[in-house]
Amino acid sequence: MKGYLVANYTIHDPETYQKYVAGAMPVIAKYNGTILVGDPNSKVLEGQPNQFLIVVEFESTEAAQRFFDSPEYTEIKPLRISSTKGWIVIAKEFEMPKH
């Protein structure tokens, strides 16, 4: 079952955030992640989300967690933390209940 890393944050330091993106892209690829959504201009229908939404697909929630806990990501994570404010979750793929 696929696992998804979902993040929603506001970028308050674009220069540092660009350094984070440059470091994160190869790490996502190394851990077989696929960016499905990455939109700084999502259309808000309800609520008050942060500016940027990203969804990264992994083989499983365990694979998403391995990426998040990896030494490579741990090294660049402070760039994201210092340049954004928001949240990140890992969620599993939805599976229709069997009748």
In the prediction, which pLDDT does 98 show?
87
- Give the rounded percent of residues in the chain with a pLDDT score beyond 90: 86
Extents of the domains making up the chain: 3-92
43, 2 Cβ separation under 8 angstroms: no
Q: Is 99 a residue whose pLDDT tops 90?
A: no
pLDDT tens, residue by residue, 43-85: 889 999 998 999 999 999 999 999 999 999 999 999 999 999 9
- Yes or no: say if 56 and 5 are a contact pair by the CB < 8 Å rule: yes
pLDDT recorded at residue 1: 93
Average pLDDT, the chain: 95
The class of domain 3-92 in CATH terms is alpha beta
Q: Which pair of tokens denotes residue 16?
A: 């540092």
Residue 28: CA count within 13 A, CB half-sphere: 18
